[in-house]
Each structure stands twice: as structure tokens, then as C-alpha cells.
């Protein structure tokens, strides 16, 4: 419901026949919650914001956000890239 305010945001259910790589190729930024798609986007040099610490964030592949304020700042930065 909150994404209705954004005409370029889409939430996809995990079980569909659309390739995540096809979606990444069309993406200017990725917001994810503990998914390897964040790492895959990072490899493709697409800006990523993780909503949770991931198993791959420990190796510094993704920047770890320390608190809510820092996360909100990074979300604003991501939105500037996307819009």
C-alpha cells in the first residue's frame, strides 16, 4: 500500500516466472531485505540498500547501516538515484 505513492516501485512475490536478472537490468536501485539479489545488484554496480544485515554484508560487499537514522539517510540517497 505504501508503494502506491511511487509510480516506479513494484513489489514482486517470490514465486513468479519473471527472472530477477531481467528486473535488475531495468533497475536503477534495489531495496531488499536479506536477499542475495542485493549482492547480485551490487555486482552489476546497481545501488543497494539492505533492510537487514545479510550473510554477505559481513565481507563488506554491502555497506552495513548502523542505525535507523543512517538507514533513512541512505534511503533518501537511493531515492535520488532512482528518481
* pLDDT in the model for residue 22: 87
CA 38 to chain centre: 6
- Condensed to tens digits (0 to 9), the pLDDT of residues 22-69 reads 888 888 888 888 788 888 888 898 888 887 777 776 666 667 777 888
* pLDDT in the model for residue 60: 65
Phi, psi (degrees; rounded to nearest 5) at 18: -95, 130
pTM, two decimals, is: 0.68
Amino acid at each position: 500500500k505504501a508503494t502506491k505513492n511511487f509510480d516506479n516501485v513494484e513489489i514482486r512475490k517470490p514465486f513468479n516466472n519473471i527472472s530477477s536478472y531481467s528486473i535488475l537490468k531495468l533497475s536503477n536501485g534495489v531495496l531488499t531485505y536479506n536477499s542475495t539479489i542485493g549482492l547480485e545488484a551490487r555486482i552489476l554496480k546497481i545501488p543497494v540498500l539492505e533492510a537487514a544485515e545479510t550473510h554477505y554484508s559481513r565481507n563488506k560487499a554491502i555497506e552495513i547501516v548502523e542505525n535507523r537514522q543512517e538507514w533513512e539517510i541512505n534511503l533518501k540517497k537511493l531515492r535520488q538515484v532512482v528518481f
